[in-house]
Amino acid sequence: DTAVSQTPKYLVTQMGNDKSIKCEQNLGHDTMYWYKQDSKKFLKIMFSYNNKELIINETVPNRFSPKSPDKAHLNLHINSLELGDSAVYFCASSQDGTGAHYSPLHFGNGTRLTVT
Amino acid sequence: AQSVTQLGSHVSVSEGALVLLRCNYSSSVPPYLFWYVQYPNQGLQLLLKYTTGATLVKGINGFEAEFKKSETSFHLTKPSAHMSDAAEYFCAVSDPNDYKLSFGAGTTVTVRA
């Protein structure tokens, strides 16, 4: 049973295209996240949703738009892709209901995005 | 706001030797502290966490970490390295009053036979 699953695993596309990454968790968690991991493995939070409500929105270009149709799903849509968007994008979830960050994160296996 | 510093981006140990990964943090309030491990082509998984209580925390795969408030540290150790410990290790800190989890830059562990 996959706890946090994201698709696709690999995404190769050209500059200027629009793409989406999907994420689903079957853990019953209240909070979901998108993280970006760059080529130096540095992890940076992008967005967080708690029960479909946006609670963290870091300084991310507005070409990136998260959507949470229900608390088990958090998708990431990226418009007008740029070379600098190449990275591994991780979806994660946690039990936190209040946003107090003491529950561990459960990560998906990542989506490696390559923009050419 | 909190921050995390992992000393040493790369650690190489012999199989059977001690693994020591260093993590220091800065936080205006007593933080929650975590160590995560990332194996190649996988997501991160929790090794251990400290929230309150006993300062020596045991995790999975024989790892443990000690919270030292006076030193603002949360170093990770394992007495005897195994080949399967080769991975990327991330220290993370959370301010209980904040929604955010801040990660360190990671330490790559390689294990020599």
Partners of A107 on chain B (C-beta within 8 Å) are 43-45
CA A72 to chain centre: 13
| Segment A13-32 mean pLDDT | 95
Q: Which chain B residues are within 8 Å of A110, Cβ to Cβ? A: 41-43
Percent of chain B with pLDDT over 90: 76
What residues of A are in contact with residue B44 (Cβ under 8 Å)? 43, 90, 92, 105, 107
pLDDT at residue number B30: 76
Residue B16: CA count within 13 A, CB half-sphere: 1
pLDDT of B75 reads 98
Residues on chain A touching B51 (C-beta within 8 angstroms): 102
Residue-wise pLDDT for B6-15, tens only, equals: 999 999 999 9
Average predicted confidence (pLDDT) for chain B: 92
The pLDDT, as a whole number, for residue B18 is 97
Per-position b or e across A35-59, b if 16+ CB within 10 A of its CB: bbbeeebebebbbbbbeeeebbeee
Sign for the pseudo-dihedral over CA of A59, A63, A66, A69: positive
How does the average pLDDT of chain A come out, rounded?
Answer: 90
The answer to whether residue B95 neighbours chain A at the CB level (below 8 Å) is yes
Residue B105 sits at the chain A interface (C-beta within 8 Å): yes
Query: From the CB of residue A83, how many other CB atoms can be counted at a distance below 10 Å?
Result: 9
The whole-number pLDDT of residue A68 equals 93
Q: For A26-63, write each residue's pLDDT tens digit.
A: 999 989 999 999 999 999 999 988 888 888 788 789 99
Of B33 and A103, the structure prediction assigns the larger pLDDT to: B33
Q: What's the pLDDT band for B95 if we cut at 50, 70, 90?
A: confident
Of all residues in chain B, the percent with pLDDT exceeding 70 is 97
pLDDT at B101: 82
Cα A33-A35-A36 angle, rounded to 5 deg: 160
B24 — contact with chain A (CB < 8 Å)? no
Q: pLDDT category, A98, cuts 50, 70, 90?
A: low
What per-residue confidence (pLDDT) applies to A101? 60
Question: What is the average per-residue pLDDT within A59-84?
Answer: 94
Whether B100 sits inside 8 A of A4 (CB atoms) is no
Given CB atoms, is B59 within the 8 Å cutoff of chain A? no
Q: Which pLDDT score is estimated for B3?
A: 86
State residue A53's pLDDT score: 86
Residues of B in contact with A55 (CB under 8 A): 99
A62 contact partners, CB below 8 Å, separation of at least 6: none
Give how far A78 is from chain B: nearest CA, Å. Answer: 21
Q: How confident is the model at residue A96 (pLDDT cuts 50, 70, 90)?
A: confident
User: Which of A45, A48, A90 comes nearest B43 by C-beta?
Assistant: A90
**DSSP-derived 3-state class of residue A87:** strand
Neighbours of B71 (CB within 10 A): 10
Which chain B residue is nearest to residue A5, measuring alpha carbons?
A: B43
pLDDT tens for B46-88 read: 999 998 888 999 999 999 999 999 999 999 999 999 999 999 9
